[in-house]
């Protein structure tokens, strides 16, 4: 009964997210311009397609992906046939073929018109068609009459040409199938750059045929063969996505130096590092053998990666080895480089020239920025808006990562308000290429990574694509809940993984009832935000604890928060409104009691026990507060003082997990009137 009532209340909350749903469409990112026209295009098993002007295998594959997603959603078996233009349900007008590998200058614009007879999609090339098909894929919906697409007119193109997702496979390796499904998800939300972080202290993840020792000693056997990488690049290109590799230099380089200690700046042995943060070993920029070796690697990998951009990292060099090395300090003095920063600029210039010989444009993190750096190089900034302003003022193109670190597990709303081109850079807005969401790999496995990327990155994708004026957070969240299901259709496992992981935590007791209890329990929890809260985790630690199951920015927590805000702002404390809050708290209080019992029989749930005590206490305080509020009773002063102290204690982390509902319960407690 409680679960049924809760479902009804959640429906009411979703409905109360604002009137934006009346004028907005269920698409993410929102198109640049769109207008609903009141028509309705029915979609059934007779669906047909007509390719006008150009038909190609690439377009056929893109259409097949659309149909596969629709079949998953609708359970309709589409027998797609080509039909004359006048009779086709979908007309695709493509003016020209696209290059096999997309470019940063590729035209991604499209136009879409849907009326009661057909949908007409027009684009200048195949990539533009794919962007339009991503919109169409999301538009299919259902009412009492059946499946249909709403009538509308769309004129669309991206605001920024660089819309990326960084996936770090250096710290935790990700198998090919993980990259595949995330490329499919990227295509759905119109991201167009996979930034592939391929080397780290913990792993060198790409086969180098001239130097097989790099993966033999630096990867724990986990790396991509060149044939696998070629296939991944082709897979991405087929979806209009570029692949930009990152080979981190001169620091974050233990996995390079473990097989080539003679290129290190230090004399101590170099051992593969399975811990973090970064260690001291770093390339020696004064050693000419370093550049010969790097040229060997670049000669091979620049042929493998067709994109003209090449990322060298360049970040977080602590300079410890350089400062200890007398020969290196003498080199700095002899060449007038002043300090370690000057030496790194020297190194970057040398590396940049090597890459330029292979027609590659170098990208690096903030740390490479120096007035002596060639203006052709690109700065990716993780340090903030001041860095963007400094780089663009110096004439450098910039990619923004700051504000989009999704591994910090902030809310979608947090990322959504960050713009790639802040006010500080407006005078040089043409130098802002776009932005990237960054999925650093310290605390993700091949099973958990999707839940850390999606669906929040869809909101970031909207910030990169849509108009700057698209800022309605309520409507963003309304559509984000829909896109979460669409991503699931595309093959991501952020939804599937949770139930499977909870079953593993339960151990031998896998009945439906305990599973439902745990699902209710984690609805109130979230993984801790930021770094430094999970000591002892390494690149070989199995990431299967409670912290790895909880999802950031959870839907139920958000609904509860919305409900509490609505309740308190409206100040209509009737029985029904009060119970709409109480139902959440009663559910969580009940699940907390049952989790305590489960923790006695399931050792993997040891982290859940203290959280269950906290949840029981927090839910109890919320219930007490609601009773005071709805009955307009005055509470003893000591009650409120104790409640505030208890909530502070209940905010403590356990196993890198915290209760996400505490801020809302605090609001309820603060609303209670006390004796004067």
Indicate the pLDDT class of residue 14, thresholds 50, 70 and 90: very low
Round to whole Å and give the CA distance between 436 and 163.
Answer: 6
Arithmetic mean of pLDDT, 117-135: 98
How confident is the model at residue 669, as a pLDDT? 98
Indicate the pLDDT class of residue 668, thresholds 50, 70 and 90: very high
Under DSSP, is residue 243 helix (H, G, I), strand (E, B) or coil?
strand
Under DSSP, is residue 78 helix (H, G, I), strand (E, B) or coil?
coil
Query: DSSP of 351-377, one letter per residue?
Result: HHHHHHTTT-EEEEEGGG--TTS-TTS
Residue 385 has pLDDT above 50, yes or no: yes
Indicate the pLDDT class of residue 386, thresholds 50, 70 and 90: confident
Beta bridge partners of 148: 42, 141
Residue 5 has pLDDT above 50, yes or no: no
pLDDT tens-digit map of 646-655: 999 999 999 9
Beta bridge partners of 146: 143
pLDDT above 90 covers a percentage of the chain that reads: 86
Out of 186-195, 273-282, 414-423, 553-562, pick the least confident.
273-282
Under DSSP, is residue 406 helix (H, G, I), strand (E, B) or coil?
helix
Residue 13 has pLDDT above 50, yes or no: no
How confident is the model at residue 593, as a pLDDT? 95
How confident is the model at residue 40, as a pLDDT? 97
Residue 534 has pLDDT above 90, yes or no: no
Q: What DSSP designation does 612 have? A: H
Out of 296-305, 310-319, 421-430, pick the least confident.
421-430
Under DSSP, is residue 111 helix (H, G, I), strand (E, B) or coil?
strand
Indicate the pLDDT class of residue 607, thresholds 50, 70 and 90: confident
Arithmetic mean of pLDDT, 512-539: 89
Indicate the pLDDT class of residue 532, thresholds 50, 70 and 90: confident
Contact call for residues 378 and 356 (beta carbons, < 8 A)? no
Out of 45-54, 532-541, 572-581, pick the least confident.
532-541
Residue 11 has pLDDT above 60, yes or no: no
Arithmetic mean of pLDDT, 387-397: 92
Out of 17-26, 102-111, 355-364, 498-507, pick the least confident.
17-26
Residue 2 has pLDDT above 50, yes or no: no
Arithmetic mean of pLDDT, 353-374: 97
Whether residue 29 is preceded by a cis peptide bond, meaning omega within 30 degrees of 0, is yes
pLDDT tens-digit map of 29-41: 999 999 999 999 9
pLDDT tens-digit map of 43-61: 999 999 999 989 999 999 9
Strands 657-659 and 525-527: antiparallel
What lies within 8 Å, CB to CB, of 662 at 6+ separation is 618, 647, 650, 651
Rounded to 10 deg, the angle between the 288-304 and 226-237 helix axes is 50
Q: Which own/partner contact pairs does 554-558 have at CB distance under 8 Å and 24+ positions apart?
A: 554/522, 554/523, 554/525, 554/526, 554/660, 555/481, 555/484, 556/10, 556/523, 556/524, 556/584, 557/523, 557/524, 557/526, 557/660, 557/661, 558/477
Q: What value does the CA radius of gyration of the chain take, rounded to a whole number of Å? A: 27
Arithmetic mean of pLDDT, 254-277: 94
Residue 1 has pLDDT above 50, yes or no: no
Round to whole Å and give the CA distance between 13 and 615.
Answer: 23
Q: Say which residue, 602 or 333, is predicted with more confidence.
A: 333
Quick check: is 316 catalytic? Answer: yes
Round to whole Å and give the CA distance between 94 and 401.
Answer: 34
Residue ranges with strand state E in 267-404: 309-313, 361-365, 378-381, 397-400
How confident is the model at residue 508, as a pLDDT? 65
Q: Structure tokens of 430?
A: 């043409």
What lies within 8 Å, CB to CB, of 143 at 6+ separation is none
Nearest alpha-carbon partner for 364 in 251, 533, 487, 229: 251
How confident is the model at residue 509, as a pLDDT? 57
Residue 3 has pLDDT above 80, yes or no: no
Under DSSP, is residue 272 helix (H, G, I), strand (E, B) or coil?
coil
- Out of 316, 575, 652, 675, the active site residue is 316
Residue 99 has pLDDT above 60, yes or no: yes
Round to whole Å and give the CA distance between 422 and 424.
Answer: 5
Nearest alpha-carbon partner for 171 in 497, 513, 444, 542: 444
Round to whole Å and give the CA distance between 438 and 435.
Answer: 10
pLDDT tens-digit map of 618-662: 999 999 999 999 999 999 999 999 999 999 999 999 999 999 999
Indicate the pLDDT class of residue 450, thresholds 50, 70 and 90: very high
Contact call for residues 129 and 270 (beta carbons, < 8 A)? no
User: How high is the mean pLDDT of the chain?
Assistant: 93
Residue 80 has pLDDT above 90, yes or no: no
How confident is the model at residue 194, as a pLDDT? 99
How confident is the model at residue 512, as a pLDDT? 64
536 Rama class: left (phi>0) / alpha (psi -120 to 50) / beta: left
Contact call for residues 191 and 163 (beta carbons, < 8 A)? yes
How confident is the model at residue 212, as a pLDDT? 98
Residue 10 has pLDDT above 50, yes or no: no
């Amino acid at each position: 009964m409680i679960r049924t009532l809760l479902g009804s209340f959640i429906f009411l909350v979703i409905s109360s997210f604002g009137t934006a749903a009346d004028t907005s469409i269920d698409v993410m990112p929102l198109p640049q311009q769109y207008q609903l026209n009141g028509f309705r295009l029915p979609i059934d098993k007779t669906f047909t397609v007509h390719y006008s002007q150009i038909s190609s295998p690439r377009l056929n594959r893109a259409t097949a992906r659309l149909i596969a997603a629709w079949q998953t959603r609708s359970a309709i078996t589409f027998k797609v046939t080509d039909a004359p233009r006048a009779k086709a349900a979908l007309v695709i007008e493509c003016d020209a073929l696209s290059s096999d590998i997309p470019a940063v200058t590729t035209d991604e614009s499209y136009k879409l018109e849907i009326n009661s007879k057909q949908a007409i999609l027009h684009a200048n090339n195949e990539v533009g068609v794919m962007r339009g098909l991503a919109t169409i894929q999301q538009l299919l919906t259902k009412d009492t009459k059946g499946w249909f697409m709403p009538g509308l007119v769309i004129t669309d193109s991206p605001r920024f040409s660089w819309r990326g997702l960084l996936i770090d496979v250096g710290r935790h390796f990700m198998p090919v199938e993980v990259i595949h499904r995330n490329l499919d998800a990227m295509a759905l939300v119109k991201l167009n750059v996979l930034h592939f972080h391929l080397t780290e202290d913990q792993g060198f993840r790409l086969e180098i045929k001239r130097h097989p020792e790099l993966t033999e000693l630096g990867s724990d056997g986990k790396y991509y063969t060149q044939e696998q990488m070629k296939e991944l690049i082709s897979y991405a290109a087929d979806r209009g996505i570029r692949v930009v590799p990152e080979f981190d230099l001169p620091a974050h380089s233990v996995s390079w130096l473990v097989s080539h200690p003679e290129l290190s700046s230090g004399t101590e042995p170099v051992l593969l590092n399975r811990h973090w943060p970064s260690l001291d070993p770093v390339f020696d920029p004064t050693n000419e053998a370093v550049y010969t070796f790097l040229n060997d690697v670049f000669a091979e990998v620049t042929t493998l990666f067709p994109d003209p951009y090449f990322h060298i990292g360049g970040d977080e060099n602590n300079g410890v080895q350089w400062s200890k090395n007398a020969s290196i300090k003498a080199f700095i003095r002899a060449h007038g480089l002043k300090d370690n920063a000057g030496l790194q600029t020297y190194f970057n210039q040398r590396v940049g020239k090597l890459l330029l010989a292979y027609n590659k444009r170098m990208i690096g993190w903030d740390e490479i920025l120096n007035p002596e750096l060639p203006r052709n190089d690109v700065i990716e900034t993780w340090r903030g808006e001041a860095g963007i302003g400094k780089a663009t003022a110096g004439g450098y193109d910039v990619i923004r990562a700051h504000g989009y670190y999704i591994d910090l597990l902030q809310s979608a709303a947090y990322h959504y308000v960050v713009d790639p081109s802040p006010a500080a850079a407006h005078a040089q807005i043409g130098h802002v290429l776009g932005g990237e969401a960054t999925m650093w790999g310290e605390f993700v496995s091949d099973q958990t990574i999707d839940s850390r990327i999606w669906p929040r990155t869809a909101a970031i994708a909207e910030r990169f694509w849509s108009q700057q004026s698209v800022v309605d957070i309520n409507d963003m969240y309304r559509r984000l809940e829909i896109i979460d299901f669409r991503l699931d259709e595309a093959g991501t496992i952020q939804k599937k993984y949770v139930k499977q992981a909870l079953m593993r935590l339960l151990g031998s007791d896998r009945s439906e009832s305990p599973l439902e209890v745990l699902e209710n329990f984690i609805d109130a929890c979230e993984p801790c935000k930021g770094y430094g809260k999970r000591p002892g985790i390494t690149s070989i630690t199995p990431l299967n604890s409670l912290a790895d199951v909880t999802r950031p920015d959870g839907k139920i927590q958000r609904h509860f928060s919305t409900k509490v805000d609505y309740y308190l702002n409206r100040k209509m404390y009737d029985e029904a409104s009060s119970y709409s809050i109480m139902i959440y708290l009663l559910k969580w209080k009940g699940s907390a009691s049952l989790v305590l019992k489960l923790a006695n029989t399931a050792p993997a749930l040891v982290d859940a026990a203290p959280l269950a005590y906290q949840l029981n206490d927090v839910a109890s305080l919320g219930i007490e507060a609601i009773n005071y509020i709805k009955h307009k009773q005055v509470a003893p002063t000591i009650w409120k003082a104790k409640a505030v102290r208890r909530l502070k204690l209940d905010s403590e982390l356990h196993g890198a997990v915290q209760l996400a509902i505490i801020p809302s319960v605090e609001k309820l407690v603060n609303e209670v009137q006390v004796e004067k």
